[in-house]
Amino acid sequence: SVRQASMLAGVAVFFVSFATIHNWISTQELIVVQSGSGMTLLQGNQPRSQGGYTAVEGISAHRDQMHHDAARLYREQTGREPTWKAVDHHYRNRALAFWVEQPWTALGLMAKKARWWLSSSEYGEIYAAKSEIRLGLNPLLRATPLALPWIMGLALVGLFLWAGDWKARGPELLLAILPATIVLVFF
């Protein structure tokens, strides 16, 4: 209902407002939520990208140094003083330019990301289950019957079979499609 949707939107705005207020105090820029999405987009969408995290040339992979390097390179490349929004837009625009200039490469890269998302048991620096098993850090992982991506593929098939009434199931479908979209777009 409209009332329920309004309540949900109000709760979302309330929680997001903390990040927005923090960003205003920190940067004096109106940034609703700052996550460095432009840099993340470029890390997954550039000519050197392989489908996972790909460092941007001249920018440290270490999170504490990454934004300083990005701002420094922005200043060198544009001659302007960096702001959060300007730097974010600069790197986002580089990724979008890659999509426009090399559309077939970009589509192939997205297909590779989709295949890895649905079939890979390795998640690089984020998912270290095999290393944890090998080092004896989490022996219960051996009891996991399937790697998460295989479960995601089966869950997507089940979702489409379950979602007969697309209008009534819209919010649930969006919550299922959102993670896949993020993987395809970023890395």
pLDDT digits (tens, 9 = 90+) for 7-48: 888 998 888 888 888 777 877 777 777 666 888 889 889 988
Per-residue pLDDT, averaged over 96-119, amounts to 89
For 54, the 3-state DSSP assignment is coil
For 177, the 3-state DSSP assignment is helix
Query: Which residues are CB-contacts of 39 (< 8 A; sequence separation ≥ 6)?
Result: 56, 59, 66, 67, 70, 87, 88, 91
Strand pairing partners for 123?
A: 127
**Within a 10 A sphere around the Cβ of 104, how many other Cβ atoms?**
7
The gap between the terminal CA atoms of the chain, to the nearest Å, is 35
Supply 118's token pair. Answer: 């649905």
Whose CA is closest to 96, among 58, 46, 53? 46
Q: Is the pLDDT of residue 104 over 90?
A: yes
Task: Give the largest Cα separation in the chain, rounded.
Answer: 55
Beta strands in the chain (DSSP E): none
For 128, the 3-state DSSP assignment is coil
- What single DSSP character describes residue 126? T
Ramachandran category for residue 136: left, alpha or beta (phi over 0 → left; psi -120 to 50 → alpha): left
Supply 38's token pair. Answer: 């432009």
pTM of this prediction exceeds 0.95: no
**Within a 10 A sphere around the Cβ of 7, how many other Cβ atoms?**
11
Whose CA is closest to 38, among 16, 63, 67? 67
* pLDDT score recorded for residue 127: 56
To the nearest whole number, what is the mean pLDDT of the chain?
A: 80
